[in-house]
A and B are shown apart, each in its own frame.
Chain A
Amino acid sequence: AQSVAQPEDQVNVAEGNPLTVKCTYSVSGNPYLFWYVQYPNRGLQFLLKYITGDNLVKGSYGFEAEFNKSQTSFHLKKPSALVSDSALYFCAVRDKGDDKIIFGKGTRLHILP
């Protein structure tokens, strides 16, 4: 069975600084990996995904993530944080050939002005 871990409940970053939100996963086969963002009282919005190919994937709002197979990680990054990036971020995994998509517990990102 697949699983996903987000080890940090909260990440605080000063505006303009780079940010990283961590995610590690476990699957039996090949992973499909996703990041989503949730603003207060809203549904989740898709940011980016890794299916195959280049390990560095770029997504919406300047976010990117790097797939690392040996470390089973898929950390979310952004070179320069904005106050408007403050939100709840979820990593998700799907095992190839399985329809189940499992979410991490979420990491709250605070960007300090």
Chain B
Amino acid sequence: ELKVEQNPLFLSMQEGKNYTIYCNYSTTSDRLYWYRQDPGKSLESLFVLLSNGAVKQEGRLMASLDTKARLSTLHITAAVHDLSATYFCAGDTGTASKLTFGTGTRLQVTL
């Protein structure tokens, strides 16, 4: 059974700083996903990482995947307030694309 762990659970960071959110998973996962959730809203897809060594970037966010270490990272560069949200990683085992989610990392970017 796939288990997904994220850390930290909560992250308060100043604008302009860099930080990384870590996502470890327990068994082979076909793909690794990152989602963003704003308060009171639903989840929206950020990145899908399909293979070992995959790197995706959009704006100040960059996600990477190391399947040998069973680790994905979401790196935030020069954070801005608009990035404040909860970020979830998820893996799937290929069965009906059913995803297993981490518990989420609540990111708060302060001035």
Do A and B associate with each other? no
Identify the A interface with B (CB < 8 A): none
Q: B residues near A, CB below 8 A?
A: none
